[in-house]
Amino acid sequence: MLKALCMIALLALCCTAHAAAYKWTDDDGNVQYSGTPPTDRPYENVKEPPPPPSLSGAETDGGSETPPADGSSEANPDQQQSKIEANCNQARANLEVLNENELVEFTDPDTGETRRLDEEERQAQITQSQKDIDYYCTE
């Protein structure tokens, strides 16, 4: 039961993908995005975070991205792979919860209100979870 509640809470985070987002720079100079603003640093409101970087590196936008503040020219491949695997695992867990439970509740992070997804919303989340699996999972 606790596992299901944790998965539902994580699902709620995915449901906010199109809600308000906040952008800031962490202590290591990396740009971060979340649904809640940081309390200890300046941030800016953004409509939606940018898409994840290309995994192949073949697609570029002409070099408009700002390099990290630590002077490295690109992200650590091990860290990038770890994030991809975490996203894959989360998408699979979300899909499992959605498929195993017809009644899925989530808490809206903006209002703190808990409500059930209707069947149309649940099916939309199933579709999105499958797209996330297709994108992040290479197995």
pLDDT digits 0-9 by tens, 60-88: 444 444 445 544 445 678 888 888 888 99
Indicate the range of 4-13, 15-24, 29-38, 128-137 predicted with least confidence.
4-13
- Domain assignment present for residue 53? The answer is no
Q: Where are the alpha helices (DSSP H) in 63-139?
A: 77-100, 119-136
Query: Percentages helix, strand, coil for the chain, rounded to the nearest 5?
Result: 40, 15, 45
- Domain assignment present for residue 28? The answer is no
- pLDDT: is 102 or 9 the higher one? 102
pLDDT digits 0-9 by tens, 84-138: 888 999 989 888 888 988 888 878 778 888 888 888 988 988 999 899 999 889 8
- Domain assignment present for residue 32? The answer is no
- Domain assignment present for residue 112? The answer is yes
Rounded to an integer, the average pLDDT of 19-39 is: 79
- Domain assignment present for residue 102? The answer is yes
pLDDT value at residue 60? 44
- Domain assignment present for residue 93? The answer is yes
Q: How confident is the model at residue 29 (pLDDT cuts 50, 70, 90)?
A: confident
- Domain range for 124: 1-8+77-139
- Domain assignment present for residue 100? The answer is yes
How many separate domains does the chain show? 1
pTM of the model: 0.46
- Domain assignment present for residue 106? The answer is yes
pLDDT value at residue 106? 77
- Spatial distance between the Cα atoms of 109 and 126, rounded to a whole number of angstroms: 20
